[in-house]
Amino acid sequence: YRGLAERMAMRPPVSYKRFRCATPGWDNSPRRKQGADIFDGSTPELYERWLRTIIEHTLADRAGDERIVFVNAWNEWAEGNHLEPDLRWGRAYLEATKRALHLSGEPGAQSTTPERQRELQDGVARA
């Protein structure tokens, strides 16, 4: 998972419109007995770092209504890909999402300018 998050978060810009996405986890082996993709080692902290990075890239690269990031998925339990509270992590992935959206609480994160914080908060308020 760590490698996936790092690679996807740091993908270089492209010449076409691409919207970034983060995922809290992925294991489709229950649905695919052969050729399954499993990204082991997800934690709320890694997910938060990934989401925060793509939010920062989006704020820097996009304007207005194009400031969109995707999270896959809210409740894809069969593929270990959900934000909903569970027995292992509780609400940690939801809280990580909240912190990433507000750009606060990430240990070791670079500080964000007040202007960027206002831009993000304005975008969240409109959503």
The tally of domains found in the chain comes to: 1
Tokens linked to 66 = 């194009």
| Residue 125 half-sphere exposure toward CB, CA atoms < 13 A | 6
pLDDT tens per residue across span 42-75: 999 999 999 999 999 998 889 999 999 999 988 9
Work out whether strand 70-71 and strand 21-22 pair parallel, antiparallel, or are unpaired.
parallel
pTM for this predicted structure? 0.77
* pLDDT, tens digit (0-9, with 9 covering 90-100), for 13-39: 889 999 999 999 999 998 898 999 999
CB of 31 within 8 A of CB of 78? yes
Under 8 Å between Cβ of 41 and 2: yes
Q: Quick one: CA dihedral 46, 92, 73, 109, positive or negative? A: negative
Residue 124: predicted pLDDT: 52
The range of the structural domain enclosing residue 29 comes to 2-126
User: With contact defined as beta carbons under 8 Å apart, do 69 and 55 qualify?
Assistant: yes
